[in-house]
Chains A and B, each alone.
Chain A
Amino acid sequence: MTRVAIVGAGCTDFRSITPEVSWKEIMYKAASRAYHDAGVDPRRDVNSFITCAEDYWEGFSIFDEFTPDQVGAVLRPMITTCGDGIYGLANAFMQIKTGLMDVVAVESHSKISDLITYRDVVLFAFDPVYNRPLGGHPYYIGGLEMRKYLQKTGATEEDCAHVVVKNKKNAMKNPMAGHEADLTVDQVMKSQPMFEPLKKLDIAPLSDGAVVLVLACEEKAREITDNPVWIRGVGWASDTCWLEQRQWWRAVYTEIASKNAYKMARISYPRKEIDFAEVDDKFSYKELQHIEAAQLCPPGQAGRLVSEGYFDADGAFPVNRSGGSLGCGNLIDASGLQRALEVVLQLRGEAGSRQLDGETGVAVSWRGVPTASGASIVLGVDP
């Protein structure tokens, strides 16, 4: 079966508000940049299109209706997947693997600034009988989970603050980022308590933005670009949807998703065979939890290692060089695609002043509160 590569990438800047453009316009912008980057004409060269969206985020009842025109998909095969951007990449990967499609475009966006009732919409994702009636701001789940994670692993709130400092500093070098800052651990620790032990700066601020990646089969990829980034493995998984049944200190979905992605990529020792990672950090502790679940350090060690600078841009194993969600903003279901985009730019050597060394990178996503679903994708300069 053919191998699959990413041959084009485009995105908008990630900004906390974008009143001057509509969601259709940011989709158009990211798509036209990606097609230009790949040197393809969507009306002629792209066989299939995928967008990743959820109705309630968009404010429509059937959002799929509004997807084709601005990405060039009119009268072409297109689907919506209700997952984050890496789920879209997984579908595109499978479509190409079947041999049915040669070139597939994957789009994901966030226009979350249009949503004035974020708290209520997230609450609508809670079980309507058992959990939703409890009310409150849904991020209390993050507070409870962080408490359990710290208790089980011995990581500290200061370790989590180090994640915030690192990612916001990393974002200083990322021109797309919208929430960069030069902070100290002390400043993070003193920021407003929100959902104890989560503090204001531990929480990734919501942002708008769109990302499009173009995927191609091996034959087309070699025609289109001298610089393909190969999808070596992809995995996605869900833990139980019941809050009451989860092991709160573990990201079981990432454990399964990463295991499947590594198996496909024939990676046995992730920490040795992978050079850098972009992992979900919608909350600071989530980065630590996801690093451990993706086997990028021994269980329970991520907190200590981040404080020692191990995951810094110039550390032994850079994590979230893009700035992550803490530095770029929480792009909702586009967050995963933003991570994959960063890995692509790094592997192509196009990351500018934040360029890392390395030939293999992994991106890990999480769909946010209250889900226990996420995906992993391993990308490399060699297939």
Chain B
Amino acid sequence: MRHVACIGAGMTMFSRRLKETGKEMCFEAARMALDEAGLELSDIDTVVCGSAPDAFDGIHMKGENLLDGCGGAKKPYMRVFTGGGTGVLAPIAGWWHVASGVSDVCMVICEEKMSSCFPHPQSAFAHIWDPILERPLQPNLVWIFAMEMNRYMQVHNISKEDIALVSVKNKGNALDHPSAQLAAKITVDDVLNSEVMAWPVQRLDISPPSDGAAALIFAAEDKVGPITDNPVWVEGVGWCIDSTMWTNRDLYFPQYVARAAKMAYRMAGIHNPFKEIDVAEPYDPFDYKELHHMEGLLLCKKGEAATLTKEGVTQRDGDLPTCPSGGLLGVGNPIAATMGVKACEIYWQLAGKAEKRQVADARTGVCQAWGDLMQYSSVMVMRS
């Protein structure tokens, strides 16, 4: 297996971007990553695209449509798609393009444009259900996450106040992120007083739909030297899917996250994640999901994530800075393009390029994405 390094990253502003097409956002992110790496498109030999449901853009075979914006024209160009898990799975696919020896320099672009979905991207989610067992009930994504949150709170006896701290932290962290959509200085009371969507989920527990793109460039070890003297290495990758039948499992613990994490840690030679990991970017589309995923990532014992959060361990200056970017809650949730606040953020943190968001002495970082019907997880471990 060839050693693979991240050598450049870019991400656009996350917001409602009606004036730009998906292609244009891809181009913008790609250009930023190429500039950071000091490369031109001709230096890239393969391109990976990550984008989630075609229904958002209303374009069938969306990957084919985005390919020129991604720089994929007249090149080997591949799209991977695992729902919300795409944000970290796409960089994993970039990793195997290079680690396999097939490609020397691979650019990964993730894009999502949700604002074109009218009246709201939730309408695209009406078609993610089993057509016989679930679709006739006309479920809504917030409902099922409410069930999961409720179950998690009940099993571990965790309060809404403790969970709201995650939203407060992440939206606060996002104040330092130049791409942030919903950065804000809020209090626990603001979260608890916000509109109830589906109990126990309230408006400020949820990340906003967003438009944006992100890019990350990977290079083989023997190509890194001339390009950068500050590479960040991909040390471990893992991904896992659980059964479609989400109704058949206990939602209090994400087994599939733990499996993906163990796979990545085994590869990276990590035995005690809490001690060995310096910075984490778990997927946080809802505030409880950060806690749920910290446990899935084995960064703490089951039920302990809320305590760590209350004790300030997950703050940027804590022992385990978690979502220092501001995460999806603060920066925005353009499904696949959240690569920008997960994989790209860990790269920037470990390369010492995170500017105002920089955490101290970070050598090893983990990022994770989550998707499908509460069933998919992708995990990547990086080291400087």
Contact = CB atoms under 8 A, between A and B. Distances in A.
A238 B67 contact: yes
24 contacts: A55-B54, A60-B127, A61-B53, A61-B55, A62-B372, A64-B376, A65-B128, A74-B242, A75-B240, A77-B238, A77-B241, A79-B82, A79-B89, A83-B79, A97-B99, A124-B60, A129-B21, A236-B76, A238-B67, A240-B73, A242-B68, A256-B74, A367-B61, A373-B67
B8 to A, nearest CB: 21
B53 A87 contact: no
B102 interface: yes
B241 A74 contact: yes
A239 interface: yes
Interface string A236-267: 11111110000000001000110010001000
A62 B128 contact: yes
A280 interface: no
B241 A125 contact: no
Nearest to A48: B239
A95 interface: yes
A76 B77 CA distance: 26
A125 B57 CA distance: 11
A316 interface: no
Question: Closest 4 CB pairs between A and B?
Answer: A97-B100, A124-B60, A94-B100, A61-B127
Contacts of B214: none
Chain A interface residue bracket vs B: 35 or more
Nearest to B90: A79
B110 to A, nearest CB: 13
Interface string A78-102: 1111110001001101111111100
Contacts of B128: 60-62, 65
A135 to B, nearest CB: 15
Contacts of A97: 96, 99-102
Most buried by B among A65, A79, A121, A235: A65
Interface in A107-158: 121-122, 124-125, 127-129
Given A122-B60, A238-B64, A59 B127 contact: yes
Interface residues of B, number: 66
A82 B59 CA distance: 13
Contacts of B238: 77
A82 B49 CA distance: 10
B75 A237 contact: yes
Contact of A125 (B64, B81, B245, B375): B64
B243 interface: yes
B78 interface: yes
A62 B240 CA distance: 16
Interface of A: 1, 54-56, 59-62, 64-69, 73-83, 87, 90-91, 93-100, 121-122, 124-125, 127-129, 235-242, 252, 256-257, 260, 264, 367, 370-371, 373
B83 A83 contact: no
A67 to B, nearest CB: 7
Interface string B87-107: 001000101110111100000
Given A77-B263, A79-B82, A238-B73, A93 B93 contact: no
Given A76-B240, A79-B80, A127-B65, A100 B1 contact: yes
A170 to B, nearest CB: 29
Contacts of A67: 241, 244
Contacts of B259: 75-76
B372 A241 contact: no
Nearest to A98: B99
B244 to A, nearest CB: 5
Given A97-B100, A97-B101, A54 B82 contact: no
Interface string B260-284: 1001000100000000000000000
B371 interface: yes
Given A76-B241, A94-B100, A241-B68, A62 B61 contact: no
Contact of A54 (B61, B67, B68, B72): B61
Contact of B124 (A61, A98, A252, A370): A61
B225 interface: no
B81 A82 contact: yes
Contacts of A75: 240-243, 255-256, 259
B60 A98 contact: no
Given A74-B242, A241-B68, A83 B78 contact: yes
A242 B72 CA distance: 12
A84 to B, nearest CB: 11
Nearest to B63: A82
Given A61-B124, A93-B100, A125 B53 contact: no
A151 B341 CA distance: 51
B64 A65 contact: no
A65 B240 contact: no
Contacts of A64: 81-83, 241, 371-372, 376
B152 to A, nearest CB: 20
B78 A98 contact: no
Nearest to A124: B60
Given A56-B61, A79-B239, A236 B96 contact: no
A68 B242 contact: yes
B372 A239 contact: no
Given A69-B244, A122-B60, A241 B82 contact: no
